[in-house]
């Protein structure tokens, strides 16, 4: 699988073209023992997927520890992978009884504590990339930027980015940083197309910063029976049939639709099933023709483009 530089013209990590997300790692019906988690990591590596997307809150604060247990027993794996971490969401959870309401915290103290917790949970001495998970209305950009730069200076984090930020929110934080924000991780799929129109992907292309696309298969919504999902599935199947692939296997086409965007998004896979990871990887060998891309886009919009 192709590896890509996340940002051009600035210090930036090289990541795999597809990313494996551990959001559902703790919810695998087959279990989440170290042996099961290790099998998924190995399956990803065999496909060339070397980048793993984490957040401290995933699995109600459990997923990092599950992944870290594998790295503790297999330290050789750490040299083969890139770890993406996220922080600043404080969710209601039995693991955090002090949280009365879900909220965001971009204060230096919270960021420092969250990163140190992630490093301990993941059994590593650094994160390859740290993202602020959600824009915090109470963020003091000066203070937050100072702490982020301190984490880089101390070697605990190698690169910085954001997640779910609007272009002005990204610009604000970047204006206080001497280091580049190398990505914005956003919701993007054939059923979530706002980023195409609200300036987010335009900003990514202007800055030469590849975005990361979470919920790249719409979090399962693509397979529901509502009219929009049915319409999009039918378009995906038609395109699959037209290019000579199995029309019942629509996931690679849906991911290829994202990969076709000129800002170069990196889709994040969220499945616990190895067969679906393998199927998704086929997207990297598909380049959609322009009219096929627009056929899918119009199915999502429910009308022809103007």
**Contact between residue 297 and residue 193 where contact means Cβ atoms under 8 Å apart:** yes
Task: Say which residues have a Cβ less than 8 Å from residue 244's Cβ, sequence separation at least 6.
Answer: none
Which parts of the chain fold into alpha helices (H)? 34-47, 58-61, 63-73, 108-122, 141-153, 167-175, 200-207, 227-243, 251-259, 274-281, 290-301
Is residue 58 flagged as an active site residue? yes
Strands 160-163 and 181-187 come out as parallel
Least Cα distance to 127 among 105, 143, 148 occurs for: 148
User: What sign for the dihedral angle of Cα 272, 277, 280, 284?
Assistant: positive
Residue among 58, 61, 104, 297 flagged as catalytic: 58
| Tokens coding 106 | 């971009």
Least Cα distance to 81 among 90, 95, 71 occurs for: 71
**Contact between residue 139 and residue 166 where contact means Cβ atoms under 8 Å apart:** no
Which residues are known catalytic residues? 58
């Amino acid at each position: 699988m192709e590896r890509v530089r996340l940002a051009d013209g600035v210090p930036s990590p090289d990541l795999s073209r597809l990313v494996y997300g551990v959001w559902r790692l703790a919810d695998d019906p087959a279990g989440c023992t170290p042996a099961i988690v290790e099998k998924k990591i190995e399956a990803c590596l065999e496909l060339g997927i070397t980048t793993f997307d984490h957040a401290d809150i995933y699995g109600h604060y459990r997923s990092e520890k599950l992944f870290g247990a594998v790295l503790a027993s297999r330290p050789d794996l750490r040299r083969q992978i890139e770890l993406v971490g996220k922080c600043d969401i404080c969710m209601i959870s039995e693991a955090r009884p002090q949280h009365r309401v879900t909220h965001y915290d971009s204060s230096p103290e919270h960021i420092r504590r969250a990163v140190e917790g992630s490093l301990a949970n993941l059994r590593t001495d650094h994160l390859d990339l740290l993202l602020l998970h959600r824009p915090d209305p109470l963020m003091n950009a000066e203070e937050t930027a100072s702490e982020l730069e301190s984490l880089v200076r101390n070697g605990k984090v190698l690169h910085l980015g954001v997640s779910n930020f609007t272009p002005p929110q990204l610009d604000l934080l970047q204006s206080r940083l001497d280091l580049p924000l190398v990505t914005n991780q956003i919701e993007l799929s054939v059923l979530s197309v706002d980023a195409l129109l609200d300036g987010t992907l335009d900003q990514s292309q202007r800055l030469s910063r590849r975005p990361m696309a979470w919920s790249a298969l719409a979090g399962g919504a693509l397979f529901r029976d509502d009219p929009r999902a049915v319409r999009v599935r039918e378009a995906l199947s038609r395109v699959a049939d037209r290019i000579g692939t199995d029309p019942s296997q629509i996931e690679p086409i849906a991911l290829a639709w994202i990969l076709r965007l000129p800002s170069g998004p990196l889709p994040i896979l969220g499945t616990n099933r190895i067969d679906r990871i393998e199927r998704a990887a086929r997207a990297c060998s598909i380049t959609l023709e322009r009219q096929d891309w627009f056929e899918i886009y119009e199915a999502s919009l429910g009308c022809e483009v103007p």
